[in-house]
Amino acid sequence: MNKWTELLLGLILVIGAIVVAFYSSQWFGASWNFWSAAGTVFKGGLFWVIVGIGALFILLGISDLKG
């Protein structure tokens, strides 16, 4: 694929996902609410990023103590 096709396909997929997530709360009740699932994944990812940065700082501190 050329760069413009990839860019257009990516844009269509992102906009499509946003539209599906926006209207998903109205389909079959709350069990298909993609916004809630996306929020949960985002919060979990944010938690693990913070834990990883903390572990990195601990390892850097231990390395500085040795040297």
What is 18-66 written as a DSSP string?
HHHHHHGGGSSGGGG-HHHHHHHHHHHHHHHHHHHHHHHHHHHHHHHHH
- Domain that includes residue 11, residue range: 3-66
pTM of the predicted protein model? 0.63
For residue 11 the two structure tokens come to: 């844009």
Who contacts 42 (Cβ-Cβ below 8 Å, separation ≥6)? none
Banded model confidence at residue 40, pLDDT cuts 50, 70, 90: very high
State the total domains in the chain.
Answer: 1
Q: What does the pLDDT look like over 8-32, one tens digit per residue?
A: 999 999 999 888 888 877 766 666 7
Say yes or no to pLDDT of 55 above 90.
Answer: yes
Tokens 């990839």: give the residue.
Answer: 6
